[in-house]
Structure 1
Amino acid sequence: MSDFLHGLTRFRRGSWELLASVLIAVGVVMLMQPLVLWAYTYSFIVTLTGTVMFIVVSHFPD
């Protein structure tokens, strides 16, 4: 866990890519669930944020 947090504070690719991937996955789950309207409403924004974050983070150093 400390390696993950250290990678976030030092702007390393691995930790930020993991965070962006989790954000994309959460957005897709929010999109596919049928019960909560606010989750469906914000699912596109969450998925888009994760995708843009992944594109930006892919330029960080290893």
Structure 2
Amino acid sequence: MRGFVNGLIRLRRGPWETVATVLIAAGVVMLMQPFALAAYTWSFAVTLTGTVMFIVVSHFPE
């Protein structure tokens, strides 16, 4: 866990790609669930944020 946080602070690709992937997955889950309208409403914004974040952090150093 300490290495993950250290990678986030030092702007390393691996930990930030993990965060972006989790955001994309959360957005897709929010889109597919039938219970909460608020989650459905925010699903596109969360998925888009994760996608743009993944594109940006793919240029971070290894």
* Amino acid in structure 2 at the alignment position of 1:33: Q
Q: Which consecutive residues of structure 2, in runs of 5 or more, have no partner in the other structure?
A: none
In the alignment, the residues of structure 2 paired with residue 20 and residue 35 of structure 1 have an alpha-carbon distance, to the nearest angstrom, of: 24
- The alignment yields a C-alpha RMSD, in angstroms, of 0.2
What percent identity do the matched residue pairs reach?
73
Shift of 1:51: 0.1
TM-score, length-scaled by structure 2: 0.99
Alpha-carbon distance in 1 for matches of 2:29, 2:38: 13
Letter aligned with residue 22 of structure 1: V
Q: TM-score, normalised by structure 1?
A: 0.99
Aligned residue pairs, count: 62
Residue matched to 2:5 = 5
- Residue 7 of structure 1 and its aligned partner are, at CA, apart by 0.3
Which of structure 1's runs of 4+ aligned residues deviate more than 3 A?
A: none
Give matches, 1:1-62, under 5 Å: 1-62=1-62
